[in-house]
Homo-oligomer: A and B are copies of this chain.
Amino acid sequence: MPTYKAPVDDALFLLNDVFNYERYGNLPGFADATPDVVKAILEEGGKFAEEVLQPLNQIGDRQGCKRGDDGAVTTPEGFKEAYGQMAEAGWIGLIASPDYGGQGLPYTLGVILNEFISSANMAFGMYPGLSNGAYVALDKHGSDDQKALYLPRLASGKWSGTMNLTEPHCGTDLGLIRTKAVPQGDGSYKITGTKIFISAGEHDLTENIVHLVLARIEGAEEGVKGISLFVVPKFLPDGEGNPGDRNAVECGSLEEKMGIHGNATCVMNYDGATGWLVGEAHKGLRAMFTMMNEARLGVGIQGLAQSEVAYQNAAEYARDRLQGRALTGEAAPDKPADPIIVHPDVRRMLMNQKAFNEAARALVIWSALKADVTRGSHDEAEKQAAEDHMGLLTPVIKGVLTDTGFMNAVAAQQIYGGHGYIAEHGMEQFVRDARIAQIYEGANGIQALDLVGRKLPRDGGRAMMAFFKEVTDFVGEHGEDEAMKPYVEPLGKAAKDLERATMWFMANAMAKPDNAGAGSTDYMHLFGLVALAYMWAMIAKTAQGKLAAGEGDKEWLEAKLVTGRYFMQRILPETGAHVRRIEAGADTMMALPAEAF
């Protein structure tokens, strides 16, 4: 049976020491989140993830969700009770506004908690995760009446939310949406169509489900400009806001999937269901997009989360499993064989995971703090910079953390040898669960294209230039510091690779956009490597500072320094191969006719 221990200490180190969390004290929610409060929240949240959610992870995978003949869906054993506890303890409304019964804490804390929950039970975490998405969309675009009705119920966890975008013939290309909305003259619409891949579309955890649905108002123009957003509750709220009549929407079937079996992935049939417009007509896609950064950050976190929990179990196994002898001679002569952690190739996999996880967590928290700025700052310049950061880094975080997170889960499974392929050890579940994060919320190829085609050139490259400046300034500032050289020299070199690739696009992709498309995934990963290396450089600086001051746990801080050097030596060199691939351009890639494949 796999285990999990929430990395609370690492999160606190990042918040307090590396990113100096207290300097955001002027933002809403931060004043209440004193270091003691933050520590208590993360410890409690970690305990909830470890003790309540993690033990349900394998059960959820084995049992999956069941759909009855009436279209009702039952979640796995224990999910309902765990959800109840979660709502009761206020975790669901942790970052929701106090105006709607939430606790009003910083978004960043929600993000950290999200990692813990996703590590413990990714399928479970999607239920409250989607409610949070619906909350944000309605908070941003809903009318006052809609907010008053839905937000308190979503924040308390009494109701849950969903996002309905995909249809059988359209996923990425939402301009092809066919679901129809017919105005009824009373402000409501009748919604008709079929949506697929709807996570948490139907279940038994809450008394009502709030569907947010993209549809085309009858007569609207074709393509993305004719799409509107609607709120369609499973039960129509009565005058008091209690669930009333059943709406004409139901789960037609459950998808049989590779993983996240504990989450109900539904085909949803809307058969003249009653819905109400959210925000302006024909601007539904834009409304959806405003919450996309945070949703994509959430999926990136799932990649990190699976990597982390798989790593923890692999490390434990590597310390326990006796097999073979160290290349340097017997390490445990009193035992029939040495623990496999003595073998360099096992170490390689563990170090790859550790070096990634710790930097990825930093990248997530760094970006979450920027998201808090976009949410609450009144300083326009600071806000714009934070928005630029989020726009630029979000596709990187989503794409890189899920691709690498998946590969790390695969490597962690590998450490188990044959036992990793057997279900009872739980390692193969991490791999299967992690796999979806590369696909949904915009497949990673789309993230790469979003980065290269939109985020990079936007506003004359302002966001990218700011990122470069920050990294280059750091390199300049610490370049002469001997102790920092093992970090800043490779970082500087990698940043040069990124710059070179960026220049190459400028010179070669304007006239020939396929050159941008051909290099987009490599560019996304190159960017990710530079961002992660920057995180390690900052972590190293902080760790050195604390060690010099005699603060903190010496061994723990020294492990940070070693792990960061490992990242620079072993993971970062990949930037060179990315550049060479990018500079190869699109020619051989696009040369063959479609029939030649």
Q: Which residues of A contact B (CB under 8 A)?
A: 166, 169-173, 175-176, 196-197, 255-259, 315, 318-319, 322-324, 327-328, 336-337, 339, 341, 343-351, 354, 406, 410, 413-414, 417-418, 420-424, 428, 431-432, 435-436, 438-440, 443-445, 448-449, 453, 513-514, 516-518, 520-521, 555-556, 559, 562-563, 565-566, 569-570, 573-574, 576-577, 580-581, 584, 586, 588-597
Contact = CB atoms under 8 A, between A and B. Distances in A.
B559 A588 contact: no
A260 B197 CA distance: 26
Contact of A569 (B347, B584, B595): B584
A424 to B, nearest CB: 7
B319 A597 contact: yes
Contact of A347 (B197, B328, B570, B590): B590
A257 B339 contact: no
B418 A197 contact: yes
A588 B565 CA distance: 7
19 contacts: A173-B337, A176-B337, A258-B423, A319-B597, A327-B453, A343-B445, A345-B449, A347-B589, A413-B435, A414-B439, A417-B439, A418-B440, A420-B439, A421-B440, A555-B593, A566-B589, A573-B577, A573-B581, A574-B577
B323 A521 contact: no
Nearest to A196: B418
Contacts of A439: 414, 417-418, 420-421
Q: Which residue, A256, A327, A555, has most C-beta atoms of chain B within 10 A?
A: A327
> Copies per complex?
2
A588 B574 contact: no
B344 A514 contact: yes
A122 B475 CA distance: 52
A123 B423 CA distance: 17
Contacts of A570: 581, 584, 588-589
A344 B520 contact: yes
B565 A422 contact: no
A214 to B, nearest CB: 15
A135 to B, nearest CB: 24
A4 to B, nearest CB: 15
A171 B315 CA distance: 18
Contacts of A569: 581, 584, 588
A421 B258 contact: yes
A337 to B, nearest CB: 5
Given A257-B422, A315-B597, 15 more contacts: A166-B418, A172-B324, A173-B324, A257-B421, A257-B423, A319-B595, A344-B517, A345-B449, A345-B518, A406-B410, A414-B438, A569-B584, A569-B588, A570-B588, A574-B577
